């Protein structure tokens, strides 16, 4: 007998034979009583869980957030106390491609962080862009459908993309980032992350501030040329994941400076743009970046499926001192993310090791598929109860948020400037960067009917006449 461990079935029984099936005679058919064979086939057929509809292809790592600056005047959150170090898990991803797609596609990159704080998990589910294509979640599935596969052919189709965008000028700001050099970052280490949404911070006096989170790469920004990104998509589709994994293995730990922009609560009523509109940034000149700390990734997962694929994030996971905002997209994601995870992983997904809070979890939820812990044993499952079960604590309540206006379906295009900030970004780029941006856009419009191209060019022209004219020239369509 060898001194390796004994191989077993899933029920723990020793496996005497793992090379040859049990058959009736040398040439004979197989026997149904070969439970080891049946278990292998059946488990294999169930190895895949539904992949995420968006952000399917990802890579992740563990690390720490270290707070170097005192921001207690804005937030009472334990995680922000100066000197605090909090463990975290970060999952990077591309958005539109399937689980087997290439890492270097032109696409926003997901930047989802789970902070295992002493007061429960805080998830900041952001991107490498400070804005998004949409500001109303009612349009989210339409937008994603237009970017994904044609229902008839199963192929991606640029006409559908630009057809959708001709009706969605709110996407221009994000489109400008996407087709700029930052649309093809050189892996995951050389790009910034952004919480993107406006959240709130609440201090110990129960005062509310609006906040935007920024993660500035300390490796410096590095992007791939459009050509290199395309080459890598063929030659090394796992380029970004491998780069991250190998850097961490050789202890070249990637780091990001963590910063916030802070807006006093009442400024929201008077700021020049709606601060809860996910297609807009807050200018740094108006709300300068404030240092918070440093984030470092320093440990690779041991098992991709258990830790990266089963990692489940929700912007609904906040902790005392951090709260939501009226941002409509955020409001929808607070519902949608846990909804997707319950479907993808099952109702008890928060108890999986990578998702489980480090702090004590005391809920009255019980049972459900795959309840693989003790299910709170003999503890009673209703509240209030007279047996000393966990109770609510009013000290964690947020200050009330003033809301006014009529309940209605408001047209967010009316009186909204969808062009200036995209134009600001265009004007911020140097001549070569503008040239690459407009070339990338013109290339992406190849084969799209002229009427659709023209409608889109009108939008780019409104951002900056030179922007629209330059694309028009390259795509060969008159404005
Ligand atoms: P600032 O000049 O203060 O900030 C410009 C920002 O643009 C910097 O954060 C810079 O990031 C970033 N940037 C540079 N090149 C690109 C690119 N190709 N794609 C995306 N971002 C880039 O100006 P404002 O704050 O007034 O903003 C002006 C414009 O800058 C905005 O309309 C917006 O498009 C863009 N921007 C603004 C951000 C914000 O939060 N205010 C954040 C990111 C972009 P870095 O420091 O890493 O070079």
Instruction: For 280-302, write each residue's pLDDT tens digit.
Output: 999 999 999 999 999 999 999 99
Confirm whether 279 is domain-assigned. Answer: yes
Ligand 1 center to 68 CA (angstroms): 24
For ligand 1, whether the C-beta of 470 sits within 6 Å is: no
Q: What angle do CA 148, 345, 324 make, to 5 degrees?
A: 75
Question: Span 61-72, mean pLDDT?
Answer: 98
**How sure is the predictor about 164, in pLDDT bands with cuts at 50, 70 and 90?**
very high
Confirm whether 92 is domain-assigned. Answer: yes
**Is 55 known to be catalytic?**
yes
For ligand 1, whether the C-beta of 195 sits within 6 Å is: no
Query: Where are the extended beta strands (E) located within 47-198?
Result: 58-67, 85-94, 109-117, 120-127, 193-194
Q: What CATH number is attached to the domain comprising 79?
A: 2.40.180.10
- Residue-averaged pLDDT of the chain: 97
The string of DSSP letters for 134-163 reads -S-GGGHHHHHHHHSB-TTTSSB-HHHHHH
In the chain, what are the helix, strand and coil shares in percent, each to the nearest 5?
A: 30, 15, 50
Query: One of 36, 121, 127, 348 is an active-site residue; which one?
Result: 127
Q: Model confidence over 76-117: pLDDT tens digits?
A: 999 999 999 999 999 999 999 999 999 999 999 999 999 999
Confirm whether 303 is domain-assigned. Answer: yes
Residue nearest atom 29 of ligand 1, based on CA coordinates: 425
For ligand 1, whether the C-beta of 428 sits within 6 Å is: yes
The string of DSSP letters for 281-342 reads PPPTTTS--EEEEEEEEEE--S-IIIIIIS----TT---TTEE--S-HHHHHHHHHHHHHHH
C-alpha–C-alpha distance, residues 197 and 210, integer Å: 10
Confirm whether 226 is domain-assigned. Answer: yes
Ligand 1 center to 425 CA (angstroms): 7
Q: For residue 194, what are the domain limits?
A: 22-132+185-359
Q: Model confidence over 416-442: pLDDT tens digits?
A: 999 999 999 999 999 999 999 999 999
For ligand 1, whether the C-beta of 172 sits within 6 Å is: no
Atom of ligand 1 nearest to the CA of 433: 18
Half-sphere exposure in the Cβ direction for 155 (13 Å, CA): 4
Segment holding 259, helix H or strand E: strand 255-264
For ligand 1, whether the C-beta of 128 sits within 6 Å is: no
Residue in 218, 278, 428 to alter for ligand 1 test, most ligand atoms within 8 A of Cβ: 428
Confirm whether 204 is domain-assigned. Answer: yes
**How sure is the predictor about 239, in pLDDT bands with cuts at 50, 70 and 90?**
very high
Residue-level pLDDT at 74: 98
Q: Domains in the chain: how many in total?
A: 1
Q: Model confidence over 456-472: pLDDT tens digits?
A: 999 999 999 999 999 99
Whether pLDDT at 47 is above 90:
yes
Return the structure tokens found at 298.
């320093």
For ligand 1, whether the C-beta of 79 sits within 6 Å is: no
Residue-level pLDDT at 479: 83
Confirm whether 423 is domain-assigned. Answer: no
Confirm whether 376 is domain-assigned. Answer: no
Which of 141, 247, 143, 229 is CA-nearest to residue 179?
229
Confirm whether 457 is domain-assigned. Answer: no
pTM assigned to the model: 0.97
Which of 398, 391, 464 is CA-nearest to residue 434?
464
Are 345 and 49 contacting, i.e. CB atoms less than 8 angstroms apart? yes
Q: Model confidence over 362-397: pLDDT tens digits?
A: 999 999 999 989 999 999 999 999 999 999 999 999
Give the DSSP letter of residue 51.
P
Which of 334, 220, 209 is CA-nearest to residue 265?
209
For ligand 1, whether the C-beta of 310 sits within 6 Å is: no
Residue-level pLDDT at 1: 59
**Is 127 known to be catalytic?**
yes
- Coil, helix or strand at residue 131: coil
CA-CA-CA-CA dihedral for 404, 409, 413, 414, to nearest 10: -60
Atom of ligand 1 nearest to the CA of 421: 32
Query: One of 20, 36, 43, 55 is an active-site residue; which one?
Result: 55
């Amino acid at each position: 007998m060898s001194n390796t461990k004994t191989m077993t079935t899933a029920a723990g029984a020793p496996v005497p034979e793992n090379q040859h099936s049990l058959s009736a005679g040398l040439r004979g058919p197989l026997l149904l009583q070969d439970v080891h064979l049946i278990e292998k086939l059946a488990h294999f057929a169930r190895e895949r869980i539904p992949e995420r509809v968006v952000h399917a292809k990802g890579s992740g790592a563990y690390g720490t957030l270290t707070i170097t600056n005192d921001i207690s005047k804005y937030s009472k959150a334990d995680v922000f106390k100066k000197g605090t170090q909090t463990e975290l898990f970060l999952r990077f991803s591309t958005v539109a491609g399937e689980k087997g797609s290439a890492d270097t596609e032109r696409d926003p990159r997901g930047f989802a962080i789970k902070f295992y704080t002493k007061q429960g998990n805080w998830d900041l589910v952001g991107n490498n862009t400070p804005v998004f294509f949409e500001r109303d979640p009612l349009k989210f599935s339409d937008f994603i459908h237009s970017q994904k596969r044609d229902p008839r052919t199963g192929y991606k189709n640029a006409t559908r993309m630009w057809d959708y965008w001709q009706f969605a000028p709110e996407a221009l700001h994000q489109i400008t980032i996407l087709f700029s050099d930052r649309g093809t970052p050189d892996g995951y280490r050389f790009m910034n992350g952004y919480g993107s949404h406006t959240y709130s911070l609440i201090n110990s006096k129960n005062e509310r501030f609006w906040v935007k989170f920024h993660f500035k790469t300390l490796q410096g920004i590095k992007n791939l040329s459009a050509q290199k990104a395309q080459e890598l998509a063929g030659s090394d589709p796992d380029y970004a994941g491998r780069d991250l994994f190998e850097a961490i293995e050789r202890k070249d730990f990637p780091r990001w400076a963590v910063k916030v922009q802070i807006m006093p609560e009442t400024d929201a009523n008077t700021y020049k743009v709606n601060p809860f509109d996910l297609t807009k940034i807050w200018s740094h000149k108006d709300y300068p970046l404030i240092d918070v700390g440093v984030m470092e990734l320093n440990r690779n997962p041991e098992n991709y499926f258990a830790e990266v694929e089963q990692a489940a994030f929700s912007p609904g996971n906040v902790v005392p001192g951090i709260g939501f905002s009226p941002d409509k997209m955020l409001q929808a994601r607070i519902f949608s993310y846990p909804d997707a995870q319950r479907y993808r992983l099952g109702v008890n997904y928060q108890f999986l090791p990578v998702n489980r809070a480090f702090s004590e979890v005391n809920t009255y939820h019980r049972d459900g598929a795959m309840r693989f812990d003790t299910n709170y044993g003999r503890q009673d499952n209703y509240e209030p109860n007279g047996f000393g079960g966990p109770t609510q604590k009013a000290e964690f309540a947020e200050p009330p948020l003033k809301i006014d206006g009529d309940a209605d379906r408001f047209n967010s295009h009316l009186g909204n400037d969808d062009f200036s900030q995209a134009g600001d970004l265009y004007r911020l780029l140097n001549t070569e960067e503008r040239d690459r941006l407009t070339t990338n856009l013109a290339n992406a419009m190849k084969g799209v009917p002229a009427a659709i191209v023209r409608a889109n060019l009108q939008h780019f022209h409104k951002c900056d006449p030179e922007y629209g004219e330059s694309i028009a020239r390259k795509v060969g369509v008159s404005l």
